[in-house]
A = this chain, B = another copy of it.
């Protein structure tokens, strides 16, 4: 038995997965609230009522997109935190893992960036706030370790630096398009360079 949201092992997505992929694209492009169930149904070539054979509600759809994505991402962060790498390497790896997420799950990242605040007002999506806290802990831990071990400037405002890194990384989902222009690794290279060394010709 396979998880409902993971493609079957033979590579053929289930109908449910197809519909979810269509919904993800629309949610990411137009926003959750601005996407109607009729939009999703139209894009899938069926009528809106038929969607409810597969999903309880529009909310269930976005829920099913976000949960497995976040499990995967935070699993990778945990791996980095648990590794024996030095602070600078850990920070670099965390940035690269994030750009990889933008590359591999652009829709899920966009939905989280654009709609987490709004969705978070519903009990059902309370876990979004938890993930937010967890994310903050990851970055702050890495920055503090960097300052402590001397690889980062001792005068850094940790909270502000955390926000700076978080925002610079995730906001890239607004313009990055997988398969077009620079690869996610190339973008990550440049971002890490600017973040660590700045743009000044020192």
Contact = CB atoms under 8 A, between A and B. Distances in A.
A142 to B, nearest CB: 11
User: Could you say how many copies of this chain the assembly holds?
Assistant: 2
A30 B198 contact: no
A199 B161 contact: yes
A195 B200 CA distance: 8
Interface string A166-202: 0110011011000000100001001100111111111
Contact of A164 (B34, B88, B151, B191): B191
Contacts of A160: 182, 187, 190
A73 to B, nearest CB: 20
Interface in A89-133: 114, 118
B195 A199 contact: yes
Interface residues of A, number: 38
Contacts of A31: 31, 33, 118
A103 to B, nearest CB: 15
A182 B160 CA distance: 10
Interface in A134-185: 146, 150-154, 156-157, 160-161, 163-164, 167-168, 171-172, 174-175, 182
A154 B202 CA distance: 11
Interface of A: 30-31, 33-34, 88, 114, 118, 146, 150-154, 156-157, 160-161, 163-164, 167-168, 171-172, 174-175, 182, 187, 190-191, 194-202
